[in-house]
Amino acid sequence: MKIAIGADHNGYELKEGIKKFIEENTDHEIVDYGCHSCDAVDYPDVAFEVSQAISEGKLERGILICGTGLGVAIAANKYPGIRAATCHDTYSAERAQLSNNAQIVTMGAQIIGVEVAKKVVEAYLNVEWAEGSKRKVDKINEKEKEFRSGNFQEGVASNQCC
């Protein structure tokens, strides 16, 4: 599998540790979208590049890192068709893929250490979408199509439980 990896300056060291782990322990191909030092970089720029590459089918999945993992997730999720999930534990990382078909997992270098991050990445990469929540993912995709087409329907909330 071809995997994008990217980080801002806050996530540079964690990115390098995860990249090395993947290269040494898997058959996956890594494409590094930067940053390539601790020099300041705006995380949206990296997140948009990774999201675009995945959206265009150049890569299958991505890993994005910033200080909290939240900024890169918010930025990546602005890109049409992308589902990015912030994960700091193995269960969330596994469910991001199994239940939500998240193409990108994000992490915060100021939140998670390299050893836990390796486990999170391993959990995320070792599962495939099971389509168990396909109906829900399809609803997300349909709402996104409405926004993109300009046919957004307000007031569609439901009071149904579960």
Tell me the chain's radius of gyration from C-alpha atoms: 16
Judged by DSSP in three states, 65 sits in strand
Query: Tokens for 76?
Result: 């990546």
Residues for the chain: how many in total?
162
**How far is 5 from 92, CA to CA, in rounded Å?**
19
CA 128 to chain centre: 14
Query: Which class for 31: exposed (0-12), middle (13-18), buried (19 or more C-beta within 10 A)?
Result: middle
Annotated catalytic residue within 66, 87, 161, 162: 66
Q: Judge whether 66 counts as a catalytic residue.
A: yes
Report the catalytic residues.
66
